[in-house]
Structure 1
Amino acid sequence: MSLKPVVSHTDHAQGNLDAELIIVEFGDYQCPYCGAAYPVLKELMSQFGSQIKFVFRNFPLSEMHPYARPAAIAAEAANLQGKFWEMHDAIYENQIDLNENLLIKLAEKLKLNISQFKEDLENPALAEKIDSDFESGIISGVNGTPSFFVNGKKFDGAAIDLIRLLEENAE
């Protein structure tokens, strides 16, 4: 399966934005497997971040994970204040306590403008961005989280396998 649509300026990206190697994660903030992949991906970025453009797309499995979508909206709201990755990381680092109140606490900890943040949580454009990410996952053949794509092709492996792949290429 290949990634549709391709990575663009509307995606959340970090690392080397001009890198030839593009890794896309479809993630759910409440998914325990995404939570387990998170520290591995942090390690991947600390080792190989200069060689990778890492992209996160929202894929909240709302029926199983009632806080996944509110968390995704909170990350998108933080993005409007330039703190997407900070909120993304904070949610995964506090995943065990994830609920609506936690999202406000994290926004406070990140020193976001709270009244703006709360207003942005209701912004329909944020819900549309999440729906658009989710749609992209569906048409790209994502059937669970986390799902990874490497240079537009579905990667059949876990986050740890991405590190192995990069280590092999580095040798």
Structure 2
Amino acid sequence: MADDARHVLGRLDAQVTVVEHGDLECPYCRAAAPILRALVERSGGRVRLVWKHFPLFVVHPHALTAALAAEAAGARGLFWEMHDLLFAHQDHLDDSDLRDYAVTLGLDPAQVAGEGAQVFADVVEADYTDGLAHGVRGTPTLFIDGVRYGGPIKLAELVAATAAG
């Protein structure tokens, strides 16, 4: 599985890599976020999380623009901050909202929403294509060291699944 590791939570040299194919408008991804963060934080540096965009744009009308906004923030070193803001305000993801979140993070709103964010369309598309190539059909979909994880997204189960890595 391609791992360009643009958006990594945890140590870059961690022994175990969890790749999440996620959608920033998906309520299940929002629910998984604190669990995955806890997995990384409690691993003592053994586990890292890599985010890949998989916007389910047919069912989530703002997923694609949210992904572009997150990429724009990521280009300025603020991916996880935008990720968390978008999940915290998942019911407010139109361009006006995205511009407000940009201001909150000290970013140029014109680069985070609308035409300015289109610069990142190829990156989001590459993540989406990578997900399709690996059989991703919904979100969140996790891979642990390249192997699809099919268990529940609960901390104890993820700790056990990553312990062997």
Q: TM-score, normalised by structure 2?
A: 0.88
Give runs of ≥4 in structure 1 deviating > 4 Å: none
Q: 1:165 to 1:37 in 2, by over 3 A?
A: closer
Q: 2:124 aligns with which of 107, 124, 130?
A: 130
Q: More helix by proportion, 1 or 2? A: 1
1:16–1:49 CA contact under 8 A, matched in 2: no
C-alpha distance in structure 1 between counterparts of 2:11 and 2:35, whole Å: 18
AA aligned opposite 1:122: Q
Q: 2:43 aligns with which of 38, 48, 52?
A: 48
C-alpha distance in structure 1 between counterparts of 2:14 and 2:7, whole Å: 15
Query: Deviation at 1:80?
Result: 1.7
Per mean C-alpha deviation after superposition, the further-off stretch among 66-75 and 99-108 is 99-108
1:47-126 mapped onto 2 (5 Å cutoff): 47-48=42-43, 50-118=45-113, 120-123=116-119, 126=120
Q: 2:143 aligns with which of 145, 149, 164?
A: 149
1:24–1:149 CA contact under 8 A, matched in 2: yes
Higher relative contact order (CA 8 A, sep 6+): 1
Q: 1:95 to 1:117 in 2, by over 3 A?
A: closer
C-alpha distance in structure 2 between counterparts of 1:150 and 1:141, whole Å: 14
Count of equivalent residues: 162
Q: In angstroms, what is the RMSD of aligned CA positions? A: 2.0
C-alpha distance in structure 1 between counterparts of 2:152 and 2:127, whole Å: 20
Unaligned runs of 5+ in 1: none
Unaligned runs of 5+ in 2: none
DSSP 3-state at the match of 1:53: strand
1:22–1:53 CA contact under 8 A, matched in 2: yes
DSSP 3-state at the match of 2:45: helix
C-alpha distance in structure 2 between counterparts of 1:73 and 1:81, whole Å: 13
Query: Does 2:152 match 1:158?
Result: yes
Q: TM-score, normalised by structure 1?
A: 0.85
Q: Kindly, what percent of the aligned residue pairs are identical? A: 38
Per mean C-alpha deviation after superposition, the further-off stretch among 66-75 and 78-87 is 78-87
Query: Deviation at 1:39?
Result: 1.9
